[in-house]
Amino acid sequence: MPAPHSNTGDDLVELHCHGGQAAADQALHLLFNAGCRLAEPGEFTFRAFVNGKLDLAQAEAVNDVITSGSDLALKVAENQLNGVLSRQLDAIYSELNNLRAECESRLDFPDEELAYDPDVPGKIDAIIRQISKLYDTRNIGGALRDGISVVLAGRPNAGKSSLMNLLLGFDRAIVTPIPGTTRDTIEAHSVIRNLPVRLTDTAGLRESSDVIEQIGVERSRKSLDTAHVTLYLLDSSAPDLAVEIAEMERTKLINPVAVWNKSDLAPGKELPKLTAPTVKISVLTGDGIDSLLDTFARIVADSPRPTVPEVAINARAAQLLKTAMDSLTKALNAFRLEEFELAAADIKIAIDHIGEITGKTVTPDVLDNIFSRFCIGK
Ligand SMILES: Nc1nc2c(ncn2[C@@H]2O[C@H](COP(=O)(O)OP(=O)(O)OP(=O)(O)O)[C@@H](O)[C@H]2O)c(=O)[nH]1
Ligand SMILES: [Mg+2]
């Protein structure tokens, strides 16, 4: 595939050989002898970036496509690869350049008032709001890229492992009527409401004299510290509900959902009110599972049935957008005080940070950092 029409923009040759390990090894050997070398991680995408086939936001999206763990994550990655984010950023970038020129013209030609754009502050403000909207997608962006850590916690026998298995659709964790069945934390990946999740089943929380169980409970508590959402299971059929609740209240939980389980054993039972969002389920009959998933999706994506956001930025872009917004707020104040030189300088900072997202302004170490996360051959 001759340059510049190949994927990378370079001359490109693709060799296909038989699939066995030995045949591929020998083919590689011949190529090395002829002076070839293996590609660095992400080198093909890097070359496409250098040759202007993709900007940096699109190049990052190549990796997002490869690692996407749910349909929703894939769709967002594809949007970014197709330039949806880049187009918004490029529009902001050129508008900021205009505004910077406006500020500078007030320095260079202070007497030509008639030619000035009368609404520079309004325009800066509009851009801040536009950036802020993009910035607000960082949480869902992080959740889609890295997966959402969901920890199942509660007292022994509450039904944590049963719920884990139900959510996974297969029997991953051992379930028995004996309290203290799960001793270690168990992790598995799944998709809930189109969101990629990492489920962690934990050992039931209680005081125990058993050394193994003690270590398990310690691990449970560690997992709780790293959760994005905690599904805290309570046994609604327990003789003393106060004991179930006391353990929950003693424990520091991140984004907890109180899940009263075993509703089949206690139909119509009056359950105490809790401060956390609460659902009543039966893992045995499947009752209430839908509303549990709705509650989960509302916490993570503000909607019981998350749909594809047009864009969902990653952590790198979030940091750059934040700095850009702060600089523009400063620029706005400076402009209102007629300190046009300062305003122009602050707008320039914003321009550089917006440009860094798409790679217009970027340092080699940032590029190294981004592309080293790719796998070889991409
Ligand atoms: N009737 C009824 N039984 C349930 C329900 N959910 C779980 N169980 C039973 O409760 C018992 C304990 O379930 P597990 O899933 O092992 O509970 P756990 O919270 O993982 O317990 P530990 O691992 O000991 O902390 C098992 O006998 C399950 O079959 C439910 O909704 N209804
Ligand atoms: Mg268990």
CATH number, domain containing residue 189: 3.40.50.300
Task: State whether 216 and 264 are in the same domain.
Answer: yes
Ligand 1 in reach of 174 Cβ (< 6 A): no
The pLDDT score that the predictor gives to residue 114 is 64
Ligand 1: nearest atom to the Cα of 156: 25
For residue 242, how far is its CA from the centre of ligand 2 (angstroms)?
21
pLDDT at 231 over 70: yes
Q: How confident is the model at residue 377 (pLDDT cuts 50, 70, 90)?
A: confident
> What is the percent of the chain where pLDDT is above 70?
99
Amino acid letter, 122: G
Residue 15 lies in a domain: no
Secondary structure string (H, E, C) spanning the chain: CCCCCCCCCCCCCCCCCCCCHHHHHHHHHHHHHCCCCCCCECHHHHHHHHCCCCCHHHHHHHHHHHHCCCHHHHHHHHHHHCCHHHHHHHHHHHHHHHHHHHHHHHHHCCCCHHHCCCCHHHHHHHHHHHHHHHHCCHHHHHHHHHCEEEEEEECCCCCHHHHHHHHHCCCCCCCCCCCCCCCCCEEEEEEECCEEEEEEECCCCCCCCCHHHHHHHHHHHHHHHCCCEEEEEEECCCCCHHHHHHHHHHCCCCCEEEEEECHHHCCCCCCCCCCCCEEECCCCCCCCHHHHHHHHHHHHHCCCCCCCCCCCCCHHHHHHHHHHHHHHHHHHHHHHCCCHHHHHHHHHHHHHHHHHHHCCCCCHHHHHHHHCCCCECC
Minimal-distance CA residue to ligand 1 atom 13:
159
Mean pLDDT of 12-39: 93
Residue 293 lies in a domain: yes
The pLDDT score that the predictor gives to residue 113 is 67
Mean pLDDT of 149-169: 97
Q: Which of 151, 155, 157 has most ligand 1 atoms within 8 Å of its beta carbon, as the pocket-test mutant? A: 157
The pLDDT score that the predictor gives to residue 221 is 95
Mean pLDDT of 279-294: 97
Task: State whether 180 and 297 are in the same domain.
Answer: yes
Residue 59 lies in a domain: no
Task: State whether 232 and 91 are in the same domain.
Answer: no
Task: State whether 153 and 261 are in the same domain.
Answer: yes
Q: What is the dihedral of CA 225, 226, 229, 234, to 10 degrees?
A: -40
Ligand 1 in reach of 161 Cβ (< 6 A): yes
Task: State whether 218 and 122 are in the same domain.
Answer: no
Task: State whether 241 and 166 are in the same domain.
Answer: yes
The pLDDT tens digits for 204-226 are 999 989 999 999 999 999 999 99
Task: State whether 211 and 268 are in the same domain.
Answer: yes
Ligand 1: nearest atom to the Cα of 155: 25
Residue 350 lies in a domain: yes
φ, ψ of residue 44 in degrees (nearest 5): -65, -45
pLDDT averaged over the chain?
94
pLDDT at 307 over 90: no
* Domain closes at, from 274, 301, 328: 301
* Domain closes at, from 256, 273, 301: 301
Task: State whether 275 and 157 are in the same domain.
Answer: yes
Residue 335 lies in a domain: yes
For residue 303, how far is its CA from the centre of ligand 1 (angstroms)?
29
Task: State whether 243 and 319 are in the same domain.
Answer: no
Mean pLDDT of 17-39: 94
Nearest bound ligand to CA 280? Answer: 1
Task: State whether 178 and 289 are in the same domain.
Answer: yes
Partner residues linked to 278 by β-bridges? 258
Task: State whether 106 and 160 are in the same domain.
Answer: no
Residue 61 lies in a domain: no
CA-only gyration radius of the chain, Å: 27
Ligand 1 in reach of 264 Cβ (< 6 A): yes
Residue 142 lies in a domain: no
The pLDDT score that the predictor gives to residue 309 is 83
User: Whole domain around residue 213: which residue ranges?
Assistant: 149-301
Residue 43 lies in a domain: no
The pLDDT score that the predictor gives to residue 12 is 94
pLDDT at 109 over 80: no
Which residue, chain included where needed, has tokens 């007497």? Answer: 111
| CATH number for 122 | 1.20.120.430
The pLDDT score that the predictor gives to residue 306 is 85
Number of domains in the chain: 2
pLDDT at 237 over 90: yes
Ligand 1 in reach of 283 Cβ (< 6 A): yes
Ligand 1 in reach of 181 Cβ (< 6 A): yes
pLDDT at 303 over 90: no
Ligand 1: nearest atom to the Cα of 164: 15
**Cis peptide preceding 4, ω within 30 of 0:** yes
Task: State whether 105 and 167 are in the same domain.
Answer: no
